[in-house]
Amino acid sequence: MREKFRAGTTYRVEGPACVRVIEGEIESLGKVLRPREQLVVPKSKAMSFTVLKDSLLEVRLGDGARMEEIKEPPIPPDWRAAIERILAMPKPVKVLVLGDVDSGKSTFCICLANASIGKGFKTVIIDKDLGQSDIGAPTTIGMGLVTSAVTSLSQVSPIDGYFVGLTSPSRVTHRVIAGVQLLMEKALNMGTEVIIVNTSGWIAGKEARELKWSLISVLKPNAIVAIQRSTEIEHLVRPFKSIRGIEIIRVPSPPIVRMRNRGERRMLRESSYKRYLEGAKIRTFSLSQVGLLYTIYGTGMSLSRDVLRELSETIGVRILYGEEATDAVLLVAERPIRLSEEDMKTIRGKFGGKDVVLTYKGGEEGLLVGLLDTDGRLLGIGIVKEIEFERGIIRILTNVEGDVSMIAFGQIKLDENGRELRKFDGWVL
């Protein structure tokens, strides 16, 4: 549908939708779109645009999409003032953006980044929202260099990343802190002038407090942007009110934000998995050439046949492979088995009380992994298809083509279409 739009009007669009400029100019989040350019709004997301000149637009609305004129400014005036304050700070400036779920954190990051590159500053965004990451695949912390104005973080190409392996930071806060700190150091070493860290919406509870407080302590941001509908972020920022070098900037949540339910969030994740696995092929890796992370496998010594035979008799199921490390033991059975706590206690006793992980042949299939190069840089993700434990051979479905030096195991299983099958509380292997 082609329609004329009057200069000075503003519209909110819920996706899936596409607005293409035929004549005139529109602006969204600081990016000006001219003829032949388009604003794409994914399903389950909402965006706004303002008509700068009388324009002829081609509007395509998908199932469930809608577009409506709005009177209030899509970007609160407080945001513009906050962005001016941040960009006036001495460089390099580090910005940590905090907010609840669907509060507008990503939108603020886009507005700040667009304004920053508009002033000629070298700008990087670190996206640590593991479940709804736009820069990099889900379960990763992505870092992207902003080279031109964007309307979505997904338009920022990743230049580096850190594999965490879960969509929630609650059980792996240490990995999140390590990953953000590592990427921050890399951004600073690149000579970046404005570094923006987008965070997850996990704000309530002692563990959430510890994660956010640890990030602030480690990163030492020049500005903390607290996006609030009311006072929901105050418990996170108040402890730092008197710390020299940190400015706390409170801004309201914008009216254009669309609240998403759990099903929509999962759909967006699965669509992202699929995108980052596009064109994947099965690659074979040998433990003699790659190291393994977040697993016992490949870190200890193989158990002898006599020990495996004794364990098989104790458990009542054949143990195909076993490995003992300094602090833990991995056992691979020929089929799935559930042991009582008493039986597990007996097995642990055979190994001096060490932690024992019991899995089965085929139980590894579908595990999400991250593939790293010789510099420890994340190359991409993959899905485990098979492990030949005795031979030390791992087959992974991935589109990564470069040399791989390390494979990091996640705690999620996917099918080949990116659908989440299962999540695990601890290491699977």
What percent of the chain clears pLDDT 70, i.e. is strictly above it? 99
The CB-side HSE value for 101 (13 A sphere, CA atoms) comes to: 12
Which helix (H) or strand (E) segment holds residue 117: the answer is helix 105-118
Residue with the larger pLDDT of the pair 258 and 282: 282
Structural domains in the chain?
2-70 (2.60.120.1030), 77-259 (3.40.50.300), 277-428 (2.40.30.330)
Residue of 182, 133, 129 lying closest to 158 (CA atoms): 133
Mean pLDDT of 76-103: 94
Task: Give the length of the chain.
Answer: 429
Q: Tell me what the pLDDT averaged over the chain comes to.
A: 93
Q: For residues 36 and 59, what is the distance between their CA atoms, to the nearest angstrom? A: 13
DSSP-derived pairing of the beta strands 223-228 and 140-146: unpaired
Handedness of CA 83, 86, 88, 92 (dihedral sign): negative
| Predicted local confidence at residue 379, as pLDDT | 95
Residue with the larger pLDDT of the pair 86 and 131: 86
Q: For residues 96 and 203, what is the distance between their CA atoms, to the nearest angstrom? A: 14
**Is pLDDT above 80 for 261?**
no
| Predicted local confidence at residue 330, as pLDDT | 95
Contacts 24+ apart (CB under 8 A), 201-206: 201/99, 201/100, 201/101, 201/102, 201/103, 201/105, 201/129, 202/168, 202/169, 202/170, 203/98, 203/99, 203/100, 203/232, 203/233, 203/236
| Predicted local confidence at residue 131, as pLDDT | 83
Mean pLDDT of 2-28: 94
Residue 171's alpha-carbon distances to 413, 418, 423, in angstroms, are 17, 22, 12
- Grade residue 258 by pLDDT with cuts at 50, 70 and 90: low
For residues 223 and 188, the answer to whether their CB atoms sit within 8 Å is no
- pLDDT tens digits for range 225-248: 999 999 999 999 999 999 999 999
**Is pLDDT above 80 for 52?**
yes
- pLDDT tens digits for range 347-397: 999 999 999 999 999 999 999 999 999 998 999 999 999 999 999 999 999
Place of tokens 């960009």: 87
**Is pLDDT above 80 for 115?**
yes
Mean pLDDT of 104-112: 93
Count CB atoms within 10 A of the CB of residue 15: 19
| Predicted local confidence at residue 298, as pLDDT | 94
3-state secondary structure 321-377: EEEECCCEEEEEECCCCCCCHHHHHHHHHHCCCCEEEEEECCCCCCEEEEEECCCCC
SS3 category, 412: strand
Q: Kindly tell me the burial class for residue 159, based on how many C-beta atoms sit within 10 Å of its own C-beta (0-12, 13-18, 19 or more).
A: middle
Quote the crossing angle between the two packed helices 341-350 and 305-315, to the nearest 10°: 160
Residue 136's alpha-carbon distances to 63, 200, 378, 423, in angstroms, are 27, 14, 10, 20
**Is pLDDT above 90 for 259?**
no
- pLDDT tens digits for range 272-311: 899 899 999 999 999 999 999 999 999 999 999 999 999 9
**Is pLDDT above 80 for 257?**
no
Count CB atoms within 10 A of the CB of residue 305: 9
Count CB atoms within 10 A of the CB of residue 181: 15
Count CB atoms within 10 A of the CB of residue 214: 16
- Grade residue 129 by pLDDT with cuts at 50, 70 and 90: confident
For residues 80 and 51, the answer to whether their CB atoms sit within 8 Å is no
> Which residues are paired to 194 by β-bridges?
93, 123
Residue of 196, 187, 262, 251 lying closest to 225 (CA atoms): 251
For residues 134 and 153, the answer to whether their CB atoms sit within 8 Å is yes
Count CB atoms within 10 A of the CB of residue 221: 24
**Is pLDDT above 90 for 212?**
yes
Q: For residues 213 and 386, what is the distance between their CA atoms, to the nearest angstrom? A: 40
Let me know how many helices (H) and strands (E) the chain has, helices first: 8, 27
- Grade residue 43 by pLDDT with cuts at 50, 70 and 90: confident
| Predicted local confidence at residue 423, as pLDDT | 93
